[in-house]
């Protein structure tokens, strides 16, 4: 009788060890962030752009009206920055930041807003808008992006993030198309 009882217990222990080991070997779940810089963000998109880790903090940094800023910090290290700017209509943000985008890797134009640039580790989009009755532009930038590791996939997600976040960020800042 003792032998019959010990076999199922042994099988259960082995199965548990295998399941725990399988869970421990997999990739950690992406962080789920639903708000950053005072605006809603798509948790699936931003989560794919953040590295894995144990603790995520988002903090507003130097934010003021017309210039929301926030940083994503994982395990005590700043990893990804997100910022918006309401700027004068005569400023050409894509041209002004061309050198920076080149430094961030192989910038290419993208069809987002009135213009966008996607680099290997950053992205920027510009959209004309009206802010407090004045013609303006809204500029959305995300930088410091290292994930996913596959550059083509990272660039695709960056473009998708800009496409979804630009209208949300503009609306939150009161910049109407």
- Half-sphere exposure of residue 107, counting CA atoms within 13 Å on the CB side? 19
> From CA 113, how far away is CA 32, in angstroms rounded?
26
pLDDT digits 0-9 by tens, 51-91:
999 999 988 776 677 888 999 999 999 999 999 999 999 99
Query: For residue 38, how many other CB atoms are within 10 A of its CB?
Result: 14
**Taking the model in full, what pTM does it have?**
0.81
**Over 53-91, what HEC string results?**
CCCEEEEECCCECCECEEEEEECCEEEEEEEEEEECCCC
21 φ/ψ sector (left φ>0, alpha ψ -120 to 50, else beta): alpha
According to the model, what pLDDT value does residue 116 have? 97
pLDDT digits 0-9 by tens, 120-131:
999 999 999 999
Domains of the chain: 29-176 (3.40.1000)
Could you tell me which residue, 85 or 9, shows the higher pLDDT?
85
Please determine, for residue 24, whether its predicted confidence score (pLDDT) is greater than 50: no
């Amino acid at each position: 009788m003792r032998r019959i009882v010990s076999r199922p217990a042994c099988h259960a222990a082995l199965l548990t060890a295998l399941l725990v080991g399988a869970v421990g070997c997999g990739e950690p779940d992406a962080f789920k962030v639903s708000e950053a810089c005072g605006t809603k963000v798509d948790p699936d998109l931003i989560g794919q752009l953040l590295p894995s880790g144990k603790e995520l903090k988002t903090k507003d940094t130097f934010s003021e009206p017309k210039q929301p800023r926030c940083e994503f910090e994982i395990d005590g290290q700043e990893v990804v920055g997100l910022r918006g700017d309401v700027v004068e209509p005569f400023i050409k943000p894509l041209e002004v930041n061309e050198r920076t985008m080149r430094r961030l890797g192989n910038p290419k134009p993208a069809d987002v807003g009135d213009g966008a640039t996607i680099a290997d580790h950053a992205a920027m989009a510009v959209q004309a808008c009206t802010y407090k009755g004045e013609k303006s532009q809204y500029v959305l930038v995300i930088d410091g992006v290292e994930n996913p590791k596959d550059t083509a996939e990272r660039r695709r997600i960056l473009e998708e993030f800009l496409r979804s976040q630009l209208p949300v960020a503009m609306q939150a800042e009161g910049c109407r198309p």
